[in-house]
Chains A and B, each alone.
Chain A
């Protein structure tokens, strides 16, 4: 029996002890004396969230495919265990071996959202690893970050030895080879980091220096050591049919957020919504072949025995082989009594037909994401969806038997007017009215139930909206309350439920999303003051964060409310995502004019992603992929 890091008295006192014991089906055990490199892969949130992340499962399969590497998992101890571990000085451990993280060669942390930054410091702190990279020695693991937030890693720069910009499949093993070589040669940790900086996609923050203008904007950002690349280009897997995929995903004992096998049918998105970071940083869209997807679905269901499979992509309706894939999957899954879950589908007659076959219409609700309330604003954000599309989709859905609808919107988009906000309630009203028009009284199953949710827009790096300023917290709330009143005033007001996200978390997310190295001190102070699990509304403590900003003399409004000039140097400019700044600026200008840009399949807009020479750029791109 594996000896656990935590004693019974602790495990039976904390919520869900299964979070901390490992041993699940599909988890990989190796003999520590027979591996050369030990890798702790961390998702800095609670187990149920972290176990739902596909990226880690892909890298876990890839790293463990090498006999000389043992990759294990680490998640954030929930606040109850956190307190016990501090009190009793129990070091953070990996789930498989239950060995302390500090003994590992690597600690890899996936950084999926800004509100997990204090959790990253918790992981380092509980592991007994110095928070600052400069204080670490060979006694500490190499701390490497990956994931979408590394497209602006600067607010975390002092805490990481390395950042991996892009998709982990391509260079992780090479990095480990270099590490093994360095350790065998007995070179210094600094020398290893220097060698690592020459690997494509790898960014060593300690090798770069930022200088600032008097007004606080960046004057320069440069390597401080000769030979270190000025820019870091993101890594992408060009052929998604010949790469690692978790054929034996781990099967958690307890229910996790994504309690199913996940089939990533494609990566990237053709749409080009101007607020969406994923739509830009994962360009170009690359599909997996029909046969790859079918084989992988079968293998994962065989190896896990899971009762549900989910198709994952940013926009499943755009997958060219969706229809044959679903035909095949529905048949396969019927036989196995397996459910199919289809998120991110456009609502049209094809997808409604499919959804009817895979779910109970009466019990499920349909989700639309118009994102904005007026056509003007949908054109500004390049949503490529007309009111007619939405109402037609809704009408078909209602005739198909659905009467529960969820609508997702954003408030605070660039150039938003009162009409745009009002438009959200008015569009929702029209959707409700469509129900009564589309379904004759005798066919109705009760009233329509419509839930509209709005989040406040946060400008993200590498989007056309990276120049946009945000609004003060009070203004967000004013607009949300105004919208709530507008909803109430609608004819169908009683059938509609409107809810909005927290404004204070939004503002903080905005600071960290476009923050520079100076915001790192704020994150550290907030953590020292006890901030943890900031993405959990019960845990978020705005006063502590406010105090952290004040303590460090950092003005959050500098990051959120300031107009950014066209040629301002952004903290993330040293990263090359293929998509050019010139293209993003052109998109910003088109947004301001309310002009729509066609999607990648309709016409290539020359965004620059063609430099990767793969995916849709090969089939639909301009020759040579002219940038800009």
Chain B
């Protein structure tokens, strides 16, 4: 029986990396006495394929992986038994049974990923804008949102505007909702968008922003005049933004928890 598990990873679990989460779930299935299917061969191991690895430091309300059990069971019971084995900060939100035919092979979680939704909050030291609603509106009005992407060889300018499907300021202070491109075709990181937004606000010289000039000058040295640089390490992320992935969706915008269900 093939299943897709949707889970939340919150609180202190944000410090646990992707590979450790994989090992964590393997053990949780064992403890829950849920019989995973193991591969054949001398080193049998269960296969848990995750939709999209979540970086260290990020929380999530909608992570997914697919796996297979050797017997048929009630999805609600699987969820209950897994939840009895979770540590603080981890919870299984849903277990769905997947269509189990050869033809639908491309239905695996990773192949389906097309978009992701995030909530991003600016940490205090970086919040310097009151009217985010208007700023976001202006930001999205731009034809091009260029950012610098550093590869091993060189630095290139990429336009991320077409990869942002939805963006708005939330009622909570300095908080944003994002629906952006994800997956193997064009993966966009939420912090890249926020870096570009902050860069944009500085270059707009909004009234009451006394230090915008100096910051712009500092930023200007970093690269091309109107392109924001991409944030790199987990440290940079944690320093600037509190990021929560809300859900992962298909290219068509269907949450992975809905896609590939048996009755579809």
Contacts and interface: CB of A to CB of B under 8 A. Distances in A.
Interface residues of A, number: 29
Given A2-B12, A18-B15, A18-B20, A8 B30 contact: no
Nearest to B41: A360
Nearest to A7: B238
Nearest to A19: B15
B234 A253 contact: no
Interface stretch (A42-50, A302-310, A613-621): A302-310
Nearest to A22: B12
Interface string B129-167: 000000000000000000000000000000000000000
Interface stretch (A9-17, A84-92, A120-128): A9-17
Nearest to B46: A337
A13 B235 contact: yes
A219 interface: no
A189 B52 CA distance: 57
Interface of A: 1-2, 4, 8-9, 11-13, 17-18, 21, 23-25, 251, 253-255, 301-307, 336-337, 360, 363
Nearest to B25: A305
B190 interface: no
A253 B15 CA distance: 10
Contacts of A307: 26-27, 30
Nearest to B30: A305
Contact of B27 (A9, A11, A12, A251): A251
18 contacts: A1-B10, A1-B88, A8-B238, A9-B235, A12-B237, A17-B15, A17-B56, A23-B12, A25-B27, A25-B31, A253-B16, A255-B23, A304-B31, A305-B30, A305-B85, A307-B30, A337-B38, A360-B42
| B-side interface mostly | helix
Contacts of B89: 1, 23
A591 to B, nearest CB: 45
B210 interface: no
A9 B46 CA distance: 35
B24 A253 contact: yes
B87 interface: yes
A487 B181 CA distance: 60
Contacts, number: 76
A618 B135 CA distance: 84
B12 A305 contact: no
Nearest to B10: A1
B43 interface: yes
A23 B24 CA distance: 13
B177 interface: no
Given A305-B27, A306-B27, A25 B85 contact: yes
B28 interface: yes
Contacts of B23: 255
Given A2-B12, A9-B235, A305 B28 contact: yes
B11 interface: yes
Given A1-B89, A9-B239, A12-B238, 11 more contacts: A1-B10, A1-B88, A4-B12, A9-B235, A12-B57, A23-B89, A25-B87, A255-B20, A302-B31, A305-B29, A307-B26
Contacts of A13: 235
Interface in B42-65: 42-46, 56-57
Contact of A12 (B13, B20, B45, B235): B235
A12 B234 contact: yes
Contacts of A12: 15, 56-57, 234-235, 237-238
Contacts of A253: 16, 20, 24
Contacts of A304: 27, 31
Contacts of A302: 31
